[in-house]
Amino acid sequence: MSFKRRTWEILEIGNEKDRASHCFDVFIFALILLNVAAFIIGTIPAVKANAGAYFFAFEVFSIVVFTIEYIGRVWSCTTLEQYRHPVTGRFRFALTPLAVIDLLAILPFYLAFLGVDFRFLRILRIVRILRIAKLSRYLSSLHLFIDVVRNRKEELIMTTTVLLLLLIVSSSMMYYAEFDAQPEAFTSIPATMWWAVATLTTVGYGDIYPVTALGKIFGSGVAVIGIGLFALPTAILGSGFIEEINKRKDKRICPHCGKSLEE
C-alpha cells in the first residue's frame, strides 16, 4: 500500500478497526470540541485579559493541526478514481462541502497576515465555530439526520412554503388592521413580520401586539393555525427517523452509510 493511500485511509475513511485511523479521529474530534469551547470561553473579558496568551498558543497549535489535515486530504484524495487527476481532481475535492468547511475553519487565521482590516477580521473569525460542522465526518448519527432530511426534502419544502405564505398573509392582514391604531408599532408589513413570527412560533414576545378588535381576531386565528403548522415539520422528521432507523436494522443495509451491502 502506498504512503498516499495510507494517508487517505487515516484522514478520511475513519475505520474503527484501523487503530491509527481511529486514534486520529478521536484526536480531531477532541480538538474540535476544545476549539469550540475556547472560542466561547475566550469571549469572557476576564479570561481574555488573564489567559489570552494561552488561548492564542492553543489557537496556533490548532491551526497547524487543521492545516496539515487539510493539506493531507487534498494531497491524498487523488487515490480515489473520481479525483484521479492531480490538478482538476484536487480542485473538485476542494469544492466538496466538508473540504470547504475545513478551509473556512483555518482561513481567518491566515488572513490576518495579508493586511485584512482588523474589524472585518473580527467578524470573520466567527467562522471558526464552523469547526463543529467537521464533526459530521466522525458522527454516524449526523449522517442519519442528513439522510432523513434528504429523503423528506419535498415534504419539508412544501411545509416551509406554506409557512412563508402564512407569514406574508398574516403580516399583511395585521398591518392593515392595526396601522391606524398603532402606526409607531406596525410601521410596515416587513416590520409586522416580527409580530407574525413571534405569534406563529407561539413565543409571544410581547413587544408588539394588536389592540383593535379586528387585530385580536386575526391574531387569535394566526396563533391557533401556527400551532398546527409548526407541528408538521416535527412530524415529518419524526416519521422519517423511524423509517430510516427501521431500514438500517435490516442486516442488508450498512449502518454507517445507509447503502445496500449487496451493491
DSSP for residue 113:
G
Higher pLDDT, 190 or 247: 190
pTM for the model stands at: 0.58
Q: Is the confidence at residue 180, as pLDDT, over 60?
A: yes
Q: Is the confidence at residue 252, as pLDDT, over 60?
A: no
- Mean pLDDT value of segment 218-245: 83
Residue 138 phi/psi, 5-degree rounding, is -115, -10
- In the chain, the amino acid numbered 132 is I
Instruction: List, in sequence order, every residue forming a beta bridge with 260; answer none if it has no partner.
Output: 253
Question: pLDDT tens-digit profile of 123-169?
Answer: 545 555 555 566 666 666 667 778 888 888 888 888 888 888 888 88
Domain ranges of the chain: 3-138, 151-249
CATH class of 151-249: mainly alpha
pLDDT at 121: 44
- Mean pLDDT value of segment 2-6: 85
Q: What integer best gives the mean pLDDT of the chain?
A: 80
- Mean pLDDT value of segment 89-103: 87
All 3 cell numbers of residue 210? 394588536
Higher pLDDT, 141 or 73: 73
Q: Does domain 3-138 have CATH number 1.20.120.350?
A: yes
Cβ–Cβ under 8 Å, residues 41 and 47: yes
Buried b (16+ CB within 10 A) or exposed e, 7-23: bbbbbbebeeeeeebee
Of the listed ranges 15-29, 68-82, 239-253, the least confidently predicted one is 239-253
- Residue 55 burial (CB < 10 Å; 0-12/13-18/19+)? middle
Expressed in percent and rounded to 5, the helix, strand and coil fractions of the chain are 80, 0, 20
Q: Using 50, 70 and 90 to split pLDDT, how confident is the model at 250?
A: low
Q: Using 50, 70 and 90 to split pLDDT, how confident is the model at 10?
A: confident
Cβ–Cβ under 8 Å, residues 59 and 38: yes
Q: Using 50, 70 and 90 to split pLDDT, how confident is the model at 115?
A: low
Of the listed ranges 6-15, 60-69, 78-87, 234-243, the least confidently predicted one is 6-15
